[in-house]
Amino acid sequence: MKRTLGTCYYPEHWPQDIWAEDAKRMVEAGLSWVRIGEFAWSRIEPSPYQLDWQWLDKAVETLGNAGLKVIMGTPTATPPRWMLDKWPQMLAVDASGAPKKFGSRRNYCFSHQPYRLECQRICALLAKRYGDNPHIQAWQIDNEYSCHDTTLSYSEAALAEFKRWLKNKYDSIEALNNAWGNIFWSMEYNSFAQIQLPNQCVTDPNPSHLLDFKRFSSDQVVTFNRIQAEVLRKHSSAPLIHNYMGRITDFDHYKVGADLDIASWDSYPLGFLEDRSEEGDDWKLHFSQQGDPDFQAFHHDLYRSVGRGRWWIMEQQPGPVNWAPYNPAPLPGMVRLWSWEAFAHGAEAVCYFRWRQVPFAQEQMHTGLYTADNNPAPGLAEASAVAAEIETMPEVSTASAQVALVFDYESDWAWQIQPQGASFNYFKLVFDYYRALRSLGLSIDIIPPDSTSLENYKLVVIPGLMSFNTQLTAAIECFSGSVLAGPRSGSKTANFALNLQPPMPGINNKVSYVESLRPSVELPLKDSGKVFNWIETTTGDDPVIERTACDRPVLIGTDKRQYLTAWADREALIAMLKKLCVAEGIAVQELTEGVRVRETKTHRFVFNYNPQTVQYNGVSLAAAAVHWELL
Amino acid sequence: MKRTLGTCYYPEHWPQDIWAEDAKRMVEAGLSWVRIGEFAWSRIEPSPYQLDWQWLDKAVETLGNAGLKVIMGTPTATPPRWMLDKWPQMLAVDASGAPKKFGSRRNYCFSHQPYRLECQRICALLAKRYGDNPHIQAWQIDNEYSCHDTTLSYSEAALAEFKRWLKNKYDSIEALNNAWGNIFWSMEYNSFAQIQLPNQCVTDPNPSHLLDFKRFSSDQVVTFNRIQAEVLRKHSSAPLIHNYMGRITDFDHYKVGADLDIASWDSYPLGFLEDRSEEGDDWKLHFSQQGDPDFQAFHHDLYRSVGRGRWWIMEQQPGPVNWAPYNPAPLPGMVRLWSWEAFAHGAEAVCYFRWRQVPFAQEQMHTGLYTADNNPAPGLAEASAVAAEIETMPEVSTASAQVALVFDYESDWAWQIQPQGASFNYFKLVFDYYRALRSLGLSIDIIPPDSTSLENYKLVVIPGLMSFNTQLTAAIECFSGSVLAGPRSGSKTANFALNLQPPMPGINNKVSYVESLRPSVELPLKDSGKVFNWIETTTGDDPVIERTACDRPVLIGTDKRQYLTAWADREALIAMLKKLCVAEGIAVQELTEGVRVRETKTHRFVFNYNPQTVQYNGVSLAAAAVHWELL
Amino acid sequence: MKRTLGTCYYPEHWPQDIWAEDAKRMVEAGLSWVRIGEFAWSRIEPSPYQLDWQWLDKAVETLGNAGLKVIMGTPTATPPRWMLDKWPQMLAVDASGAPKKFGSRRNYCFSHQPYRLECQRICALLAKRYGDNPHIQAWQIDNEYSCHDTTLSYSEAALAEFKRWLKNKYDSIEALNNAWGNIFWSMEYNSFAQIQLPNQCVTDPNPSHLLDFKRFSSDQVVTFNRIQAEVLRKHSSAPLIHNYMGRITDFDHYKVGADLDIASWDSYPLGFLEDRSEEGDDWKLHFSQQGDPDFQAFHHDLYRSVGRGRWWIMEQQPGPVNWAPYNPAPLPGMVRLWSWEAFAHGAEAVCYFRWRQVPFAQEQMHTGLYTADNNPAPGLAEASAVAAEIETMPEVSTASAQVALVFDYESDWAWQIQPQGASFNYFKLVFDYYRALRSLGLSIDIIPPDSTSLENYKLVVIPGLMSFNTQLTAAIECFSGSVLAGPRSGSKTANFALNLQPPMPGINNKVSYVESLRPSVELPLKDSGKVFNWIETTTGDDPVIERTACDRPVLIGTDKRQYLTAWADREALIAMLKKLCVAEGIAVQELTEGVRVRETKTHRFVFNYNPQTVQYNGVSLAAAAVHWELL
pLDDT in tens, B413-471: 999 999 999 999 999 999 999 999 999 999 999 999 999 999 999 999 999 999 999 99
CA angle (B625 as vertex; B621, B628 as ends), nearest 5: 80
Tally C-beta pairs within 8 A across B and C: 173
Please, is B524 exposed, middle or buried when counting C-beta atoms within 10 Å of its C-beta (0-12, 13-18, 19+)? middle
pLDDT number for residue A129: 98
pLDDT number for residue C400: 87
Instruction: Give the distance from CA C342 to its chain's centroid.
Output: 14
A366 vs A2, higher pLDDT: A366
Average confidence score pLDDT of chain B:
97
Q: Which of B42, B92, B103 sits opposite A205 (nearest CB)?
A: B103
Residue A179 near residue B361 (C-beta atoms within 8 A): no
Cβ neighbours of C41 in B, within 8 Å: 186
Give the confidence band of A178 by pLDDT, cuts at 50, 70, 90: very high
Average confidence score pLDDT of chain C:
97
Give the confidence band of A2 by pLDDT, cuts at 50, 70, 90: confident
High-pLDDT (> 70) share of chain C, %: 100
pLDDT (tens digit per residue) in A70-86: 999 999 999 999 999 99
Cβ neighbours of B327 in A, within 8 Å: 420-421, 515-516
High-pLDDT (> 90) share of chain A, %: 98
Cα A311 from Cα A342, distance rounded (Å): 10
pLDDT number for residue A400: 87
The whole-model pTM stands at 0.97
Query: Hey, are the CB atoms on B201 and C319 less than 8 Å from each other?
Result: no
Evaluate if residue C395 carries a pLDDT over 90.
Answer: no
Q: Chain B: residue nearest A199 by CA?
A: B101
Q: Which of C181, C188, C418 sits opposite A42 (nearest CB)?
A: C188
Amino acid at A510: K
Beta bridge partners of A235: none
Q: Is C204 on the interface with A (CB under 8 A)?
A: yes
Evaluate if residue B198 carries a pLDDT over 90.
Answer: yes
Subunits with at least 3 CB pairs below 8 A relative to chain B? A, C
Give mean pLDDT, residues A345-368: 98
Q: Chain C: residue nearest A375 by CA?
A: C512
Residue C531 near residue C525 (C-beta atoms within 8 A): yes
Helix and strand tally (H, E) in chain C? Answer: 18, 24
pLDDT number for residue B544: 98
Q: Is A193 on the interface with B (CB under 8 A)?
A: no
Give the confidence band of B274 by pLDDT, cuts at 50, 70, 90: very high
Give the confidence band of C582 by pLDDT, cuts at 50, 70, 90: very high
Evaluate if residue C271 carries a pLDDT over 80.
Answer: yes
Q: How far is A289 from chain C (nearest CA, A)?
A: 10
Cβ neighbours of C122 in B, within 8 Å: none
Q: Is A178 on the interface with B (CB under 8 A)?
A: no
DSSP-H helix ranges across A236-276: 253-257, 269-276
pLDDT number for residue A610: 98
pLDDT (tens digit per residue) in A576-619: 999 999 999 999 999 999 999 999 999 999 999 999 999 999 99
Give the confidence band of A486 by pLDDT, cuts at 50, 70, 90: very high
Name the catalytic one among C45, C118, C144, C410.
Answer: C144
Strand, helix or coil for residue C136 = strand
C-contacting residues of B 120-159, CB under 8 Å? none
Residue B348 near residue B137 (C-beta atoms within 8 A): no
What are the start-end ranges of the E strands in A311-443? 311-316, 349-352, 403-406
C-contacting residues of B 412-451, CB under 8 Å? 418, 420-423
Cα C127 from Cα C460, distance rounded (Å): 42
pLDDT number for residue B335: 98
Buried b (16+ CB within 10 A) or exposed e, B475-513: bbeebebbbbbbbbbbbbbebbbbbeebbbbbbbbbbbb
Q: Which residues of A participate in catalysis according to the annotation?
A: 144, 315
Give the confidence band of C394 by pLDDT, cuts at 50, 70, 90: confident
Cα A318 from Cα C113, distance rounded (Å): 50
pLDDT number for residue B476: 98
Selected residue of C76, C104, C322 to mutate for chain B interface (largest B Cβ count, 10 A): C104
Average confidence score pLDDT of chain A:
97
Q: Which of A189, A203, A521 sits opposite B288 (nearest CB)?
A: A521
Cβ neighbours of A142 in C, within 8 Å: none
Cα C334 from Cα C340, distance rounded (Å): 10
Give mean pLDDT, residues A345-366: 98
Evaluate if residue B393 carries a pLDDT over 90.
Answer: no
Q: Chain C: residue nearest A92 by CA?
A: C202
High-pLDDT (> 70) share of chain A, %: 100
pLDDT number for residue C397: 85
Q: Is C30 on the interface with B (CB under 8 A)?
A: no
Residue C272: what are its φ and ψ, rounded to 5°?
-65, -35
Domains in chain B: ranges and CATH: 4-150+238-392 (3.20.20.80), 403-584 (3.40.50.880), 595-630 (no CATH)
High-pLDDT (> 90) share of chain C, %: 98
Rg, C-alpha atoms of chain A: 25
Is C315 among the catalytic positions?
Answer: yes
Residue B2: CB atoms within 10 A of its CB come to 11
Query: Hey, are the CB atoms on A206 and B281 less than 8 Å from each other?
Result: no
Q: Is B55 on the interface with A (CB under 8 A)?
A: no
pLDDT number for residue A1: 75
pLDDT number for residue A376: 98
Selected residue of C362, C374, C612 to mutate for chain B interface (largest B Cβ count, 10 A): C362
Q: ipTM, 2 decimals? A: 0.97
Max CA pair span of chain A:
77
B-contacting residues of A 535-564, CB under 8 Å? 537, 539
Cβ neighbours of C516 in A, within 8 Å: 320, 326-328
Query: Quick one: which of C532, C575, C571 has its CA closest to C552?
Result: C532
CA angle (B305 as vertex; B300, B307 as ends), nearest 5: 90
Cα A255 from Cα A448, distance rounded (Å): 10
pLDDT number for residue B399: 85
pLDDT number for residue C61: 98
Cβ neighbours of A98 in C, within 8 Å: 96-97, 200
B393 vs B375, higher pLDDT: B375
Q: Which of C327, C329, C363 sits opposite B421 (nearest CB)?
A: C327
Give mean pLDDT, residues A279-292: 97
Evaluate if residue B1 carries a pLDDT over 80.
Answer: no
pLDDT (tens digit per residue) in C104-163: 999 999 999 999 999 999 999 999 999 999 999 999 999 999 999 999 999 999 999 999
Query: Hey, are the CB atoms on B360 and A422 less than 8 Å from each other?
Result: no
Cβ neighbours of A99 in C, within 8 Å: 200
Cβ neighbours of A75 in C, within 8 Å: 186
DSSP 8-state code for residue B192: G
pLDDT (tens digit per residue) in C347-358: 999 999 999 999
Cα C596 from Cα C580, distance rounded (Å): 20
- Please report, for residues A40, A78, A126, B559, C111, the alpha-carbon distance to residue A53 in angstroms, rounded to integers and kept in the order given: 11, 18, 9, 94, 42
Name the catalytic one among B118, B315, B546, B599.
Answer: B315
Residue C12 near residue C41 (C-beta atoms within 8 A): no
Subunits with at least 3 CB pairs below 8 A relative to chain A? B, C
Give mean pLDDT, residues B261-265: 98
Cα B428 from Cα B135, distance rounded (Å): 42
